[in-house]
Amino acid sequence: MSVRIAIAGASGRMGRMLIEAVMQSPDCQLSGALDRDGSLLLGQDAGAFLGRESGVRVTSDLREGLAGAQVLIDFTRPEGTLAHLALCEELGVAMVIGTTGFEPEQKARIAAGAQKIGIMMAPNMSVGVNVVLKLLDMAARALNEGYDIEIIEAHHRHKVDAPSGTALKMGEVVAGALGRDLQACAVYGREGVTGERDPSTIGFATVRGGDIIGDHTVLFAGTGERIEISHKSSSRATYAQGSLRAARFLARSGPGLYGMDDVLGLTGRGA
Ligand SMILES: NC(=O)C1=CN([C@@H]2O[C@H](COP(=O)(O)OP(=O)(O)OC[C@H]3O[C@@H](n4cnc5c(N)ncnc54)[C@H](OP(=O)(O)O)[C@@H]3O)[C@@H](O)[C@H]2O)C=CC1
Ligand SMILES: O=C(O)C1=N[C@H](C(=O)O)C[C@H](O)C1
């Protein structure tokens, strides 16, 4: 039985990637494609940009777009994701949430929704980044004294949130491993006479330009050596493939809030 998947943000960079990935997957079926009022794709076949027929028309009517779906994959904006969540809860449709830039109260709303439906939310769906998160936990525990930690990320000129969701997650992992509270120790950029670096801080630096898909580096700078753990994306296809793995996972799971480590079996709790 194939997994019936609806895609939100159908005209977006990730939306298009996801439509292509679903149409190419023998065990997945595109059941709906959503976009906002005003999108040029509304009314068109969702596969038209690929020169292929999907049999699904892009719609801004959420009920029409979610009809028959088991899972909605949502890479939009926080306000869009929350609007979709309300109807997914009502209809019992699970959600893969890739959107970033949520405020804490918006994340709490998603966690509440996960009491009714399965939700897999992660700021980065690539296998590589999720393995890097595990490496960071190990590195931070081992380098817990004498190393200054800085997180540097670079993305394309169209990205609207900063630091990236992935950079923030990396910060959370490192802070957690060191017993620090990221909210209290994060420094988001420096300017002017800043004074010497406080060793308990975790610094963030953001680069935006061109078509950079997504680069992340965590720097552990000590005396006499530096360790850099980097991940560089060269294609959005990895995010799309990770999202499909998450959709398959949700199709066989009950309500709950899951992460990519659950999907990939990286929780350390065994398979
Ligand atoms: N978790 C992961 O692995 C990844 C996460 N992301 C995240 O996914 C999100 C989308 O990225 P990307 O595809 O590059 O962005 P785009 O801007 O290319 O696409 C966003 C899509 O969402 C639609 N949209 C915007 N606002 C709303 C709204 N309020 N309600 C419904 N739909 C809306 C847009 O419609 P319109 O065209 O009309 O504006 C567009 O179709 C970002 O938050 C990004 O950080 C990105 C890549 C990987
Ligand atoms: O907006 C993007 O493009 C990306 N966003 C995600 C993030 O904020 O971490 C994931 C990836 O880096 C691409």
CATH code for position 195: 3.30.360.10
pLDDT tens string 124-169: 999 999 999 999 999 999 999 999 999 999 999 999 999 999 999 9
User: Which atom of ligand 2 is nearest the CA belonging to 156?
Assistant: 3
Nearest CA among 152, 148, 151 for reference residue 223: 148
My answer on whether 115 and 133 are in the same domain is no
What digits encode the pLDDT tens for the residues 161-220? 999 999 999 999 999 999 999 999 999 999 999 999 999 999 999 999 999 999 999 999
Domain at 37, CATH number = 3.40.50.720
Six-digit token pair at 132? 């890097």
Kindly state if the Cβ of 76 falls inside 6 Å of ligand 2: no
Nearest to 152 by CA among 225, 232, 206: 206
Region 21-35 average pLDDT: 98
Measuring from each residue's beta carbon to the nearest atom of ligand 1, which residues come in under 6 Å?
9, 11-15, 35-36, 39, 75-77, 79-80, 98-101, 122-125, 165, 239
pLDDT over 70 at 246, yes or no: yes
Å from CA of 166 to ligand 2 middle = 7
Separation between Cα atoms, residue 58 and residue 47, nearest integer Å: 9
Same-domain status, 170 and 205: yes
- Domain hosting 227: range is 127-233
80 shares a domain with 53: yes
| Secondary structure class of 101 (helix, strand, coil) | coil
Q: Is the CB of 130 under 6 A from ligand 2?
A: no
Cα-to-centroid distance, 157 and ligand 1 (Å) = 14
Contacts 24+ apart (CB under 8 A), 45-51: 46/7, 46/10, 46/19, 47/19, 47/23, 49/16, 49/19, 50/19, 50/20, 50/23
Report percent pLDDT > 90 for the chain.
97
Total domains present in the chain: 2
Confidence of residue 268 (pLDDT cuts 50, 70, 90): confident
Span 224-245, pLDDT tens digits = 999 999 999 999 999 999 999 9
Residue nearest to atom 5 of ligand 2 (CA): 164
Query: 131 and 198: one domain?
Result: yes
d(CA 18, CA 6): 10
d(CA 120, CA 247): 8
- The residue among 39, 44, 19, 41 whose CA lies nearest residue 29 is 19
Q: Answer whether residue 1 shows pLDDT above 90.
A: no
Mean pLDDT over all residues of the chain?
97
Indicate if 155 belongs to the active site: yes
Q: Which residues contact 99 (CB under 8 A, 6 or more apart)?
A: 74, 75, 76, 77, 78, 80, 81
> Which is the closest atom of ligand 2 to the Cα of 167?
9
ipTM of the complex: 0.99
